[in-house]
Amino acid sequence: MEFTAQQIAAFIHGVVDGNPLAKVSNFSKIEEGTPGTLSFLSNPKYSHFIYDSNASVILVNNDFVPERNVKATLIRVENAYESLAVLLSVIERRKPKKTGTSPLAFISTSTIIGENAYIAPFVFMGENVIVGKNASIHSGCSIEDNVVVGDNVTLYAGVKIYEGSKIGNNCLLHAGAVIGSDGFGFAPTDDGSYRKIPQTGNVILEDNVEIGANTTIDRATLGSTIIRKGVKIDNLVQIAHNVEIGENTVIASQTGISGSTKLGKHCTLAGQVGLAGHLQIADGTVIAAQTGVSNSVKQPNQILMGYPAIPIRNFQRSVVVFKNLPELQRMIYALQQKIDELEKKQQ
């Protein structure tokens, strides 16, 4: 389908700057824009591409000021990236949706499946499973006994959900995610071996949670590991037993969170962050890539970096000193040599 710039602007509450009748039928990256496509500019690093882009329509932030002529029609919005997300979501919802249950799925007779759900071939569902309306369960998923899967949930191929876990509404779990595997609990014994501590709790994902491919979330030893509503977790993340992740927190790839740590609301964890166990992380904390957090963070809305984690400005000043250590060392050696020479002359 084709849409004009004016139609798109009306939908996302934008203002057209250029030809309101410019038509688009697809999307493109700004550096690869072609006629008939819509692109966007939100990161200033890509600003130079807008002047030569062949995209017909480009979303920009309201404060964008072009340095020279732009061929494309612009749609000015409050947040170009967010507006793009809105448009892509509309396109995604228009895609045909599969429904029905494959005869090649193994489903317990006690399982309840909501209307308009899709159950692909080679899905396994254990006893007393509940699957909500409009859910999509793709091939190779395993849903064990007493699991609850909410409305509008999508489980991509190979997702494994252990017994007793609860998945809220509008959740999206990508391929290979494992929800409810045993927490890493072992008690040392007198002979130096380790006795396994049974993990008897579960995992709860609240509404609107997204879990990346091959991410693992361990069941609690007692009680629940809880992922609060709106949390977004990237691929290859490990979340240990009894962890709690606050609302609308985002966690990037290869992060590991140790047992019983509690994250506040609206936190951001960049790639390869490591958190020790039994910590409390305040609301709004931002933890930069490859940071190691070994102590609780009590003050909200800080940006932390380094190991051990410290406020980012302190870390940046420390890095400057660290980079100059060889030169500082030479200066100290030279000063020490001069001191030694002066002491010899005074003897």
Residues marked as catalytic: 241
Q: Where does residue 86 fall: left (phi above 0), alpha (psi -120 to 50 degrees), or beta otherwise?
A: alpha
Token pair recorded at residue 316: 């940046």
Nearest Cα to 230, choosing from 251, 214, 216, 253? 251
Which amino acid, one-letter code, is at 177?
A
Q: Which residues, in sequence order, are CB contacts of 78 under 8 Å at separation 6+?
A: 13, 61, 62
72 three-state secondary structure: coil
117 three-state secondary structure: coil
Token pair recorded at residue 143: 């849903």
How are beta strands 112-113 and 106-107 bridged, if at all? unpaired
- Contact assessment for residue 100 and residue 119, using Cβ atoms and an 8 Å cutoff: yes
Token pair recorded at residue 78: 């409050």
**Angstrom distances, CA of residue 78 to CA of 17, 21, 42, 84:** 14, 22, 10, 11
- Contact assessment for residue 28 and residue 107, using Cβ atoms and an 8 Å cutoff: no
- Token pair 């799925």: residue: 105
Report the DSSP beta bridge partners of residue 68: none
Cα separation, 127 vs 104, whole angstroms: 17
